[in-house]
Structure 1
């Protein structure tokens, strides 16, 4: 919009057209993300998202997590018949998309059904995960949008959450006091087993605890995603 305004001041038609196109695209993307988060634009800009304290989580019992090692994780992948990967911003930070492709290849050698569940606001903008996974030469037909894949989670053996947080937080469905309540999420918690790859127990963009991490079917694989997944792939290669 600043470029567009500058174009009017300088009487430069190129700046006016370019600024208008970029500004319009930004508004459309913002509307998509607001819809995906079930929030208005005013609430996103002025609501202090990430500053709200989840009182229920603070006053309730601490989340008890179960940690899984690289060898155990590899065994779970090896034994699964279906796997769904949920990528998030943490995957982009770790640049783990290429090693995830290697993980996919190892699973497909074992005739394991392997898919990716894409949330509209995963990453920093709509389409962020699609671009990264395409960069790793992962076929587009493997990337399934939230509305199309959510019903598959209950029948999935293993869900692998890589660097995602708020988009798989069951509090969005179950906790009316949560600032993300009502936000559409991926139903990863309904799978038979969930492995979450994270550096630490840090909170996501919303600034609230993720209830999924304490679920009995959830296991935490701590460490840099690229390094830990590389080790999992190596273990799977040794098994074959």
Structure 2
């Protein structure tokens, strides 16, 4: 019987690879959009612009304080009641982007806060405007404390894509659920699903560890 399950699972591999591709596509789009949005909001929070800083802080607290599952349910099931209809893939991208922006915003903001205020004041006194100070003084120094936790957040977001299967998107996790109904060996089926996630996330884990070691060594040598 076990051999039959294994052969059936091998026959299902094209279905798994199709689901994996959807997971990769969803992850790639969401990581790009959330990085751009998180960078913008992180800078806005750092600048402490009146009213805007409270809006950004409120958004971040709201998203980080509510489950991602609830957020995707609201987007996919509640928004249609307001005549905003999104397909499963678009809903998943939007939910992951909104979710990722909040966490990446905090990563960027925390990194910017590590930059000495004296350097900002020196740049201002040298005649640089706000945009030039950000571009030439603050952001070039902030990338070191940003990159390791940012890559770590990417790993978490890729794993969080598993939740989108609840709205019917045929990602790698949903492929596992559909397959286990036909091949009732949960360890075998979801072990394969886990391998796909591991193959996706492990290179980023190695990159995050490498960046953390690299920047730690550079900081200690200064």
Do both share a fold (TM > 0.5)? Answer: no
TM class, shorter-length: under 0.3
TM-score, normalising length: structure 2: 0.27
TM-score, with structure 1 as normaliser: 0.26
| Structure with more helix by fraction | 2
Q: Which has the higher contact order (CA 8 A, sep 6+)?
A: 2
